[in-house]
Every structure is written in C-alpha cells, then in structure tokens.
Amino acid sequence: MIRRPLHIGLDVDGVLAGYMAAIAEVGRGNGHTMSGEGPLTYELIEPGWFPDALTAAAAMAQLHERGLGDLALLDDTAPGAVRELRNGGHKVSIVTARQEHRAGESSHRAGRRDLASWLARHGIETDDLLFMQQKSLSGCDVYLDDAPHNIDEIRSAGRIAVVRDTTYNRQVPGPRVISLAEFADRVLRGDFNRQAA
Ligand SMILES: [Mg+2]
C-alpha cells in the first residue's frame, strides 16, 4: 500500500510550549499557592489552582500581556520529530487558537511574529502557522492537541485528533501520545493513514 502524505496540525500551548507552568508562575505571583498536582481541568479552577473564573482569567490575561515568547519548550523531542515528519513527506502546520494580532495599531501580526521567533529559537521548522479558534477549518488530516474542547471540535468534523497526554485530558478517549517523538513514530509507521483514508 502506498501511503499518501498527510497534512499534520500541531497545537502550540500544552503540546510544544509549557503554557501551564507559565500560568502557575503568574498565579504564584498573584498570591495563590499553585500547589496542585494537576491541573485536572482545562479551566484551572480547582484546589491548588485558581479559586474562581475571575482569578484564572486575570492570570491568563497577565501572561498574554507579558507575551508568550518566554514559555519553555515543553517537549524536547519536538524539533527532531517535526523534522522527521517533514523528511517523511508530510506537511506540518502549526494550528493554534492564539491571537495572531495584539490590540493596538502597531501590533498587526505581533502574535504571529512572537510565535515564529519562539519556534525558530527552539529549532522547530514547520510549513506554516495557522491561527484559528475552530481548528478543523484548517483542513489537516491529523491533529495533535491537548485541549478537550479542541479535540472534540476536530473529531466532530470527521478529522483525526491525537491527544497529547496531560493531567487535564485523561478522560478523553485515544489515540493518545506522551511526546512529539511518539506522535511522529506513529504517523511515520502509518497508524493514522487507515483512519484518514
Ligand atoms: Mg493547547
């Protein structure tokens, strides 16, 4: 069987970049203990995280205002895995729900510039950067994402969403991987061709 090249959509926050660790740091700065083992929910309103929606939203707003350029690389297998996928003939897009623009006149495409330089700094070379809330609209065959609501949306549209394993998505059914390296291995051995066909 000849395998056709796939269009792969990679999420950024919670897949490539350590968003939750950065939010926890902001929360500690705001006087919360941030001692939870989780988070066990994507909303982060739970014991050891934020007490309510207001404090959680405030911390996220602070982090976005400060810029997401300082987030740590979450998965050090990512640069090599993306390279392998592209060498294998697959197209790799970033598909993120981040904002492409920041508020203010001079901030046209500032979110895109920040993300492009973050990816370059970490040696992650993709084919393009797609900014969209409704990720299935990017038309990828296979997505890698951590957020339960994005995984639902992608699967509802008939596409394959692979879960990037973390504490707040354990209730979501598979397929599931723990790293970009594992994801690339599975793509390259054709695990998702049968389903995407
Ligand atoms: Mg994410």
How many other CB atoms sit within 10 Å of the CB of residue 11? 24
Residue 194: per-residue pLDDT: 65
| Cα of 151 from ligand 1 centre, angstroms | 10
Q: Which residues of 57-96 are buried (b: 16+ CB within 10 A; e: fewer)?
A: eebbeebeeeebeebebbbebbbebbebbbeeebbbbbbb
Residue 197: per-residue pLDDT: 47
| Cα of 29 from ligand 1 centre, angstroms | 23
Q: What whole-number distance in Å separates Cα of residue 74 and Cα of residue 17?
A: 5
Which member of 13, 75, 141, 146 is catalytic? 13
Query: Facing residues of 9 across strands?
Result: 93, 143
| Cα of 14 from ligand 1 centre, angstroms | 4
11 carries an active-site annotation = yes
Residue 78: per-residue pLDDT: 98
Topology (CATH) of 7-17+73-196: Rossmann fold (3.40.50)
Backbone angles phi and psi of 102, in degrees to 5: -105, 165
| Cα of 138 from ligand 1 centre, angstroms | 16
146 carries an active-site annotation = no
- Low-confidence stretches of the chain (pLDDT beneath 70): 1-2, 104-106, 194-197
| Domain ranges, ordered by start, for the chain | 7-17+73-196, 19-66
Strands 7-10 and 91-96: parallel
Residue 113: per-residue pLDDT: 92
| Cα of 119 from ligand 1 centre, angstroms | 15
Which member of 11, 141, 145, 146 is catalytic? 11
CB 45 within 8 A of CB 53: yes
